[in-house]
Structure 1
Amino acid sequence: MSKVTALLLAGSRPGGDPFAKRYGVDAKALIPILGEAMVLRPLKALLASRNVGAVRILTQEPDLIAPVLFDDGRWSIEPSSGTIAETLEHICTDERTRWPLLVTTADHALLDEAMVDQFCAEGEGADLALGVVTRSALMKRLPQTRRTWIGFRRGKYTGANLFLLGSANAMKAIALWRDVEQDRKKGWRLLLALGWPGLLGLLRLRTLDQTLDAMGRKLGVSLRAVRLEDPLAAVDVDKPSDYELVTAILDRRA
């Protein structure tokens, strides 16, 4: 596939983030993990991938994030809009945007090159590809972890903070995301917003792929789920227990 442009979302919550303050920093992306700002870990993984040509770091406060970044001509940093959906809509409607776009987040501290490569390879050709991890795989690896699961026929899944926007047609799905963005942790709201196709998935009458196919037909886009082989792709850093888990995993690797 042609090389993707990665969008690394490193925004902050309005009014300050108590989680960041807990670790003595002013933004979540700056929380230190084993001696370096968290944002550096997904940035390094993206730049290591043969599928990524450039990384655009998006944040409300570029002057706060820029000082911790290393020199590399392949990344840039720029202001983001108020919400994730607004930011993506702005980029997707910019005639200078080069497709496809890979979207991930600064709290994806366990992201690695292999995850990025698999996701890009298997998401190629879809208007919108979503990275997911099966409950069985993650519970086998990390039985103590707690995630938000959505059940379908033949399995439960959680998101992996990886999205591939293959074309401007993905804007149709982003517009829906904008409408339910405040409830993005409650996957059933996104399903119900799509009417019967989503409801059938919620009631576990369809598999994940069947549900996405039906959703895609309703929206006029091609949707695809990419099941990540490494279940650690589902682990982000949203709370202190996540921080302790991720730190322990990285410490063992080191």
Structure 2
Amino acid sequence: MNTPVPAPTALILAGSRPGPPDAVAASEGVWHKALVMLSGQPMLSRVVAALREAGIARIAVSATDPQVMDLARQLGCEVLLAAGGPSASVALGLEKLGAPLLVTTGDHALLRPEWVTDFLNDAPLHCDVAVLLARREVIETAMPETRRTYLRFADGHWSGCNLFLLASDRASAAIEVWKTVEADRKRPWRIAARLGLGMLARYALGRLTLAAAIGGLGRRIGITACLVAARDGLAAVDVDKPQDLADARAIIATRHAAPPPITYISSEP
């Protein structure tokens, strides 16, 4: 068991993607997904509440939508203008806020404070970057009928949990690399190929673990990168589709998981 690490600053990604309107926001009649109501609170408010309950005092929200920015300020958060994509927004956040920086997303509707504290405590102290992922069996125990895309490696089938720890300034080197990993999540052989023929051969033979792949990617860019396994499969649930929203609402109702109300901070002088 690691010694608990000091609480980092948190960055919540709540930018707007180019292209057609977000399906979740459109289905709820709001401008942005982070404004969708769950259990009487905007989704962004739930994320902020979970981070605060986990002991994180300084929280910034990366956004472009004026309503999301206004809500973030009411919640006592700093506001950063989102860049051209998630990785660019994280890079800007690390530059402005410094390390250690915990990164999550505004659609992490079920985020629980214990997931945050467990992740921070389980992350090896020597890591520059730690990534929370959940094993398929853990996810399916929590949500038996869920259908997801998994990274398939020798140590299991994994899905991301939208929680990242940039523990040192050296983590900046990992931001673009992790963007490519996310893009290749349906083609894990391409992740292995980035590590050279030896790693690709190990993957082809079913011997390459995801932990080794992440560690190898880190070494190639001169940092230490670590996989942290989620204890609760629900940590892998975010809200990308209207069905995800329905699932999140059902889970909240079943588990009575609504966080305590947030005290809104007036922006009036």
Match of 1:55? 59
**Which amino acid counterpart does residue 64 of structure 1 have in structure 2?**
Q
Distance 1:37 1:162 in 2: 20
After TM superposition, give the deviation of residue 66 of structure 1 in Å: 3.6
Q: Deviations over 1:137-168 (max 9, x none)?
A: 11122110011111111311111000000112
Task: Work out whether residues 128 and 170 of structure 1, in 8 Å CA contact, stay in contact via their aligned partners in 2.
Answer: yes
Task: Work out whether residues 131 and 161 of structure 1, in 8 Å CA contact, stay in contact via their aligned partners in 2.
Answer: yes
Residues 203-218 of structure 1 mapped to structure 2, 5 A cutoff: 203=204, 204-218=206-220
Tell me, yes or no, if structure 1 residue 9 matches structure 2 residue 13: yes
Match of 2:120? 120
Distance 1:226 1:247 in 2: 27
Match of 1:186? 186
After TM superposition, give the deviation of residue 187 of structure 1 in Å: 5.6
After TM superposition, give the deviation of residue 78 of structure 1 in Å: 2.2
Q: Secondary structure at the match of 1:65?
A: helix
Task: Work out whether residues 108 and 235 of structure 1, in 8 Å CA contact, stay in contact via their aligned partners in 2.
Answer: yes
Task: Work out whether residues 130 and 166 of structure 2, in 8 Å CA contact, stay in contact via their aligned partners in 1.
Answer: yes
Task: Work out whether residues 8 and 103 of structure 1, in 8 Å CA contact, stay in contact via their aligned partners in 2.
Answer: yes
Match of 1:27? 32
Q: Secondary structure at the match of 1:8?
A: strand
> In the alignment, which of 64, 85, 88 is matched to residue 87 of structure 2?
85
Tell me, yes or no, if structure 1 residue 65 matches structure 2 residue 68: yes
Match of 2:261? none
Cα separation, partners in 2 of 1:147 and 1:200, compared to 1, 3 Å: farther
Q: Secondary structure at the match of 1:53?
A: coil
Distance 2:152 2:69 in 1: 40
TM-score normalised over the length of structure 2: 0.84
**Length, aligned pairs only:** 248
Q: Secondary structure at the match of 2:57?
A: strand
Cα separation, partners in 2 of 1:30 and 1:184, compared to 1, 3 Å: farther
After TM superposition, give the deviation of residue 111 of structure 1 in Å: 0.6
After TM superposition, give the deviation of residue 185 of structure 1 in Å: 4.8
After TM superposition, give the deviation of residue 244 of structure 1 in Å: 1.0
Q: Secondary structure at the match of 1:161?
A: strand
Unaligned runs of 5+ in 1: none
Q: Deviations over 1:88-139 (max 9, x none)?
A: 22233x3x53310000001111111100001111224311100011111111
After TM superposition, give the deviation of residue 86 of structure 1 in Å: 1.2
Tell me, yes or no, if structure 1 residue 142 matches structure 2 residue 146: no
Q: Percent identity?
A: 33
Task: Work out whether residues 201 and 208 of structure 1, in 8 Å CA contact, stay in contact via their aligned partners in 2.
Answer: no
Task: Work out whether residues 16 and 63 of structure 2, in 8 Å CA contact, stay in contact via their aligned partners in 1.
Answer: yes
**Which amino acid counterpart does residue 176 of structure 1 have in structure 2?**
V
Runs of 4+ in 1 over 4 A off after TM superposition: 69-73
**Which amino acid counterpart does residue 242 of structure 2 have in structure 1?**
P
Distance 1:201 1:36 in 2: 47
Q: CA RMSD in A?
A: 2.2
Task: Work out whether residues 8 and 56 of structure 1, in 8 Å CA contact, stay in contact via their aligned partners in 2.
Answer: yes
Residues 189-200 of structure 1 mapped to structure 2, 5 A cutoff: 189-196=190-197, 199=200
